[in-house]
Structure 1
Amino acid sequence: MLRNFIFAAAIATTAGTATAAPQVELWRLDCGRIAVGDLSVFSDTFAYAGEKRTLTDSCYVVRHGNDYMLWDTGLPAALLGKPLAANDVLAPTLDRTVPDQLREIAIKPEAISLIGISHYHFDHVGQSASFPKARLMIGRADLEALKSKPVPFGAEPSLLAPWLSSGAPLDAVEGDKDVFGDGSVVMLSTPGHTPGSHALLVRLAEKGPVLLSGDVAHFEKQFETGGVPPFNTNRADSLASMTRLQSMARALGATLIVQHDADDVAKLPTFPASAK
């Protein structure tokens, strides 16, 4: 009896001192807009002819306990207030900067300790240098491509200068990466759009799992039709990554967010509200 009592007391003590899992919270930020005058540039099968669309450029803040991570950093701040060019195939503009939005939710820019990058295109890394002390996490294949000559389509290595030339902390990610080591935030390997592209899985206690697509697709219709842009670096990988995200969303019951699709982004609370 005494032995059983001691054993039960030990279990109770251990349970009482166990560290609770850190709370995870997710905000969506407005990181720009891109007016597309000819949507057919997003299809290598001549789809979307004559269509126009305005793509949202979304990025995200993830709070994991006391740690803050940015997922993508949107269009460059130099585009702030730029008028949309009426006749351009692609016309980007920015209404608010990332640091400005962080201040609205009482997060100091210097509190951002991690930046996760879905891929190297300028509209996903544009404001990274506003956080030069953060550790940058980017696919190894994308990092190597940024160092190549000539640089790939859509890439602006200067936007990542603190990490490419100044020695800021950098993780070259291969495959999937469990960011905090507890499965709550995971970078998912989704090559095809670029060789080192990633998506992000965020597990929320109330909302449930959320999948942030990177540029595996630019709008939901591409998932429906298997639409692949001609500027993707590998068509077969692109289709495989689409399949992976859709299959994962079904298996987890996850909310899949296509980051450039305004309707998809609206599945998350409107800023400054967050998902928990």
Structure 2
Amino acid sequence: MALRNALLAAAACALAACNQSGAPEPDPPAVQLYAMDCGHSTFSDIGMFADDGSMNGQSRTLVVPCYLIRHPSGDLIWDTGLPEAIADMPDGWRPDGFPAHFVVPVKLTAQLQQLGLTPADIEFVSFSHMHSDHTGNGNLFTASTWIVDADERTRMFDAEHRADPQDFNNYNRLETAETQLIEGDAEHDVFGDGSVRVIQAPGHTPGHTVLLVQLPNAGAVLVTGDMWHLAESRERRLVPSFNTDRAQTIASMDKVEALARENEALVIREHVQEDFDAMPRFPEALN
């Protein structure tokens, strides 16, 4: 009998991955959220992030993250960071006439590779909005289904942005990718079970969105794009001077705050280092 039980236990471990104690490993949580470091932006003057002039002349380094959501029905990459080509520049990138220095310490593709993934393996791609620190690697995901607000897509492919190849060429090949448009005031349920929702929050750009993820253990997480750039921005309701619509921005702030309360969500201000540091260090996941 003892021999029979030992053989049965060995068979169980052969069929299910076992830990060192011989017990079967637990199944991974249904939904997992990974925070990846996709660059840093050091500004000599962050005045542009507050149209009331309160941040003029101050310097600050902002983190530029990418987020991977793994779900039993597929993977979603949310925001793709700065172009990974910057990683090959010895001194990073300093755009002429712009008060910032951009660096990329680790390429997005290299981080995906740590999970055994390539961009072609990712089923869905979505950006909080069109700016180059969020769409910098967009063209890596032309095999993915692109989830995008209809107004944002129109703006991304208008004549003005086609004439700016530096940014446009980060995402231009998505024009012919399989696309799911978010129209009107709707939100988009990525996997159809309420666990991952793309929610409209315009004002920073015409079709800016936020992401609400329901994790089985950690609960709700609200990833807020450029709703708030700075640690001070949320409490003081600072509006960047370059936002497309100030009133819309304030309304979206109210909407996102209500979402956070209703879902008791952890709010991630994407460019704030302390919020990024509060996430598990990649390749560990929040779940």
Normalising by the smaller structure, the TM-score range is 0.7 to 0.9
Q: Does the Cα contact within 8 Å between 1:257 and 1:267 map onto a contact in 2?
A: no
Q: How many positions carry a matched residue from both structures?
A: 254
Cα shift readout 1:174-226 (whole Å, capped 9, x = no counterpart): 23111111100000100000000000000001111000001111123111111
Give distance in 1, aligned partners of 2:254 and 2:102: 29
Give distance in 2, aligned partners of 1:147 and 1:132: 16
Residue in structure 2 matched with residue 42 of structure 1 by the alignment = 49
The answer as to 2:97 corresponding to 1:90 is no
**3-state SS of paired residue (2:123):** strand
Residue in structure 1 matched with residue 68 of structure 2 by the alignment = 61
**3-state SS of paired residue (1:141):** helix
The answer as to 2:82 corresponding to 1:75 is yes
Indicate how the Cα distance of structure 1 residues 147 and 88 shifts in structure 2: closer, same or farther if over 3 A, else same: closer
The answer as to 2:221 corresponding to 1:214 is no
Residue in structure 1 matched with residue 177 of structure 2 by the alignment = 168
Written as runs of structure 1 = structure 2, the 5 A alignment for 1:1-20 is none
TM-score by length of 2: 0.83
Q: Does the Cα contact within 8 Å between 1:77 and 1:127 map onto a contact in 2?
A: yes
Q: Which runs of 5+ in 1 are unaligned?
A: 1-21
Residue in structure 1 matched with residue 148 of structure 2 by the alignment = 138
**3-state SS of paired residue (1:101):** helix
My pick for the range that moved more, 152-161 or 219-228, is 152-161
Q: How far off is 1:254 after superposition?
A: 0.6
- Residue identity (%): 32
Q: Which runs of 5+ in 2 are unaligned?
A: 1-28
Q: Does the Cα contact within 8 Å between 1:81 and 1:93 map onto a contact in 2?
A: no
Residue in structure 1 matched with residue 24 of structure 2 by the alignment = none
Q: CA RMSD in A?
A: 2.2
Q: How far off is 1:50 after superposition?
A: 2.5
**3-state SS of paired residue (1:159):** coil
TM-score by length of 1: 0.86
Residue in structure 2 matched with residue 19 of structure 1 by the alignment = none
Cα shift readout 1:64-116 (whole Å, capped 9, x = no counterpart): 11411100111112211442559951221211111110111222332101001
Q: How far off is 1:152 after superposition?
A: 9.2
My pick for the range that moved more, 84-93 or 132-141, is 84-93
Residue in structure 1 matched with residue 257 of structure 2 by the alignment = 246
Indicate how the Cα distance of structure 1 residues 153 and 224 shifts in structure 2: closer, same or farther if over 3 A, else same: farther
**3-state SS of paired residue (1:239):** helix
Give distance in 1, aligned partners of 2:88 and 2:143: 27
